[in-house]
Structure 1
Amino acid sequence: MIYKFKSKAAGDVIMMEPSGDHVLRIIGKVPAPKGIIEPADMPAAIQAIERAIVDEENARKQAEADAAAEGRSLPPREAVTLRQRAWPLVDMMKRAHADDKEIVWGV
């Protein structure tokens, strides 16, 4: 499945299912073929994504430090981080919230 997030305040954001599901779970939504993010919910959603990004980056730094202390190396990190995957949707939420417009997908 492909998620196509749409809002009257910004251009469309497209995500493949694994990334879309992950981001929706972060913001407290159940992954589904159709959905909506209301403007009132956007500040908390943005904060949840930003917190998840920091948590992911801190976990990687800690894993690298632990590996270095044990004299081993970690496999390379994923090619695309959560920060990179989520940024377009966070930007869309900021624009949509400023214009008091919802974000929908699957409609």
Structure 2
Amino acid sequence: MYKFRSQAAADLIMLTPAGDRVLALLGREPAPKGIIEVADMAQAIERLSAAVAADEAARQQAPTDEDEGEGRRPAEAVSLRQRVWPLVQMLRTCQAADEPVVWGV
């Protein structure tokens, strides 16, 4: 489980699979401890936004449960946008307050 913390925002908890995926989207290896420096937050927000846009484009193209035929993909219960939105908000808040985000500390 990941617990993202900062002096500027409330704690954010993610289960390990979601946290690992988010860290991979940020170009980081999943690790029990880490930090996102203020200088890296703009790029982190951009990466997460780009991943959300790509995920939503893929969802538009993929067959859903309502479509007929084999090879259809069941709709995920929680979208990537919903998973990363709290972290994006945390990063924006922390960037404005000039505070890093840490986990596992």
Q: Percent identity?
A: 51
Q: CA deviation at 1:75?
A: 3.8
- Alpha-carbon separation, structure 1, partners of 2:99 and 2:30: 21
1:42-76 CA deviation, whole Å, 9 max, x = no partner? Answer: 000001001000101101111139x95xx527343
Question: 1:94 matched to which residue of 2?
Answer: 92
Question: 1:16 matched to which residue of 2?
Answer: 15
TM-score of the aligned structures, taking structure 1 as reference length: 0.89
Alignment of 1:12-51 (within 5 A): 12-51=11-50
* 4+ aligned runs moved over 2 Å, structure 1: 71-76
Which amino acid in structure 1 is aligned with residue 57 of structure 2?
Answer: N
Q: Where is the helix percentage greater, Structure 1 or Structure 2?
A: 1
Which amino acid in structure 2 is aligned with residue 77 of structure 1?
Answer: A
CA RMSD of aligned residues (A): 1.7
Q: Where is the strand percentage greater, Structure 1 or Structure 2?
A: 1
The unaligned stretches of length 5 or more in structure 2 are: none
Q: In the comparison of the two structures, how many residue pairs are matched?
A: 103
Aligned partner (choices 55, 68, 72) of residue 69 of structure 2: 72
Report the 3-state secondary structure (helix = DSSP H, G, I; strand = E; otherwise coil) of the residue aligned with 2:4.
strand
The unaligned stretches of length 5 or more in structure 1 are: none
Question: 1:54 matched to which residue of 2?
Answer: 53
TM-score of the aligned structures, taking structure 2 as reference length: 0.91
Report the 3-state secondary structure (helix = DSSP H, G, I; strand = E; otherwise coil) of the residue aligned with 1:90.
helix
- Alpha-carbon separation, structure 1, partners of 2:75 and 2:104: 31
